[in-house]
Amino acid sequence: MLGQYAAYIVPAYAVSAAVIAGLTAWTLLQYRRRLREIATLEEKGVRRRAATRKGDG
């Protein structure tokens, strides 16, 4: 199917898939970390500026 270039194509796809999976995992971990930070700040009484704008009622 891939012929003589399989030795180059398969590792290239594998590396690409690993990089995409790693970036996805890293993004999700950062997202969860930020949600925890926001929850901690809100528990301390710190509010986001966007939530206190006039007319956002």
pLDDT digits (tens, 9 = 90+) for 28-52: 999 999 999 999 999 999 877 776 6
Calpha distance 57→46 (Å, rounded):
19
14, 21 in Cβ contact below 8 A?
A: no
Report if residue 13 sits inside a domain: yes
pTM assigned to the model: 0.68
Give pLDDT, residue 13.
97
Report if residue 47 sits inside a domain: no
Calpha distance 37→44 (Å, rounded):
11
Q: How many structural domains are present in the chain?
A: 1
Better pLDDT: 53 or 26:
26
CA dist 11 → 3, 8, 14, 29, 44 (Å): 14, 6, 5, 27, 49
Report if residue 52 sits inside a domain: no
The range of the structural domain enclosing residue 18 comes to 3-42
Calpha distance 54→57 (Å, rounded):
8
Report if residue 54 sits inside a domain: no
